[in-house]
Amino acid sequence: MKLWGGRFSKNTEFIVDDFNSSIRFDQRLYKEDIEGSIAHVTMLAKQSIITSSEGESIVEGLKALQIDIENNLIEFDISAEDIHMNIESLLISRIGDVAKKMHTGRSRNDQVALDMRLYIKKEIKTIDQHLFDLLETLLQLSSSHTETIMPGYTHLQKAQPTTFAHHMMAYFEMFKRDRDRLDATYSRMNQCPLGAGAFATTTYDLDRQLTSDLLGFDSYCLNSMDAVSDRDFLIDLLQNISVIMMHLSRFSEEIILWCSHEFKFIELDDAYSTGSSIMPQKKNPDIAELIRGKTGRVYGNLISLLTTMKGLPLAYNKDMQEDKEVTFDSIDTINMCLPIFTKMIATMTVNKKIMKAGADGGFTNATDAADYLVKKGLAFRDAHEVIGKLVLYCINNNTNLSELTLEQYKNLSPIFEDDIFDAISLDTCVSKRQVIGGPAKEMMEKVIQINKDYLKTTAQ
């Protein structure tokens, strides 16, 4: 007989048990379920709702059960539906009727809301640590490449010269914002739903502050209906993970381009590449491609949960059971992608000469040539036109700005002098960009130090 079976005159069919059950995927919540139950029972005993000896017996039984679960000595029962009923049934079979008092003043509705919050809080810390490790790697790469010149792009067309450090630190800022979003999600969800009951609390004299304190929450949920039906914190997390995956996917796209024969800007380590079953010459960036592909899957999980929640009336509905698989899948995916991506970029080889040669083509110094004329007194729009004509001349004559003679420059503007060649050298183009946030070595070193200090203050 099921723990809720008193009202029923016949057993459910096995196919119904199988369809209704969530134990296949929510069994990963066993630690949180036991942790929450211990706090709840401790509070019940303190409030004299159950006796101290009853509370001690239940707590000891729960702790022993957790040890057996972790030693793979427990087989969960599909007919018990979920992790909550499995834990309770197992405890009753071990310590007897006293275990039936554990659920006093509690519902599975506030229980599952609690378990998910406890679980997500831990997972946010894990994801944040992976992001921290990635940020450390990006700082190390950037520190080593403040003078590694490469082309910067807009519209995937060569635009202006920059440095590899400057490019890497752009991703640093993205992942730093991801940590901020995770922290905000953690803060918003750090309220304890336990005590909400099914949705209208209970007639027992519960001490919700005590259970909140025992479980490490900042406070407790102020509305019991919202407490059991809120899944905003999961949607927030899936949004956070989706944005992280979007950033990883953008980065992966560049890795895929850069290690191609057409670019050759980087080479991935053999340990983080794969080959072809038919083409012996191939070295494929499969890790980056898989991360790019898994991003779509994570987006799908977010849309799935949003769609599930969009039509639900208050308070709890069984539809909400669908929150777990998509959440667990997104967490598992991000916890797999972040560490391997970090190791992949930490071990790649940066081809400095090829990067600089890439910046030397495509007229990436054209803006600096125009700025040269402006500093000589010409209006920017007029300077823009002069350099545009020079670029067109170079294209028609298969040359570039650095290879033109001073005479060819003066044919378009008498303002040009010998110093034009220094002004448009790649080293000058980068080193003169002394605005904070720019690629000049001194500016990059300042920003890198700022972010080193940031990591020191935000380490777990």
Active-site amino acid positions? 155, 276
Select from 142, 146, 166, 149 the least CA-distant residue to 360: 149
HEC assignment per residue over the chain: CCCCHHHCCCCCCHHHHHHHCCHHHHHHHHHHHHHHHHHHHHHHHHCCCCCHHHHHHHHHHHHHHHHHHHCCCCCCCHHHCCHHHHHHHHHHHHHHHHHHHCCCCCCHHHHHHHHHHHHHHHHHHHHHHHHHHHHHHHHHHHHHCCCCEEEEEECCEEEEEEEHHHHHHHHHHHHHHHHHHHHHHHHHHCEECCCCCCCCCCCCCCCHHHHHHHCCCCEECCCHHHHHHCCHHHHHHHHHHHHHHHHHHHHHHHHHHHCCCCCCCEECCHHHCECCCCCCCCCECHHHHHHHHHHHHHHHHHHHHHHHHCCCCCCCCHHHHHHHHHHHHHHHHHHHHHHHHHHHHHCCEECHHHHHHHHHCCCCCHHHHHHHHHHCCCCHHHHHHHHHHHHHHHHHCCCCHHHCCHHHHHHHCCCCCCCHHHHCCHHHHHHCCCCCCCCCHHHHHHHHHHHHHHHHHHCC
Report d(CA 224, CA 230) in Å as an integer.
Answer: 10
Cα 141 → chain centroid: 20
Provide the token pair at 197: 């009951």
CB proximity list for 367: less than 8 A, separation 6 or greater? 160
Q: What whole-number distance in Å separates Cα of residue 25 and Cα of residue 192?
A: 23
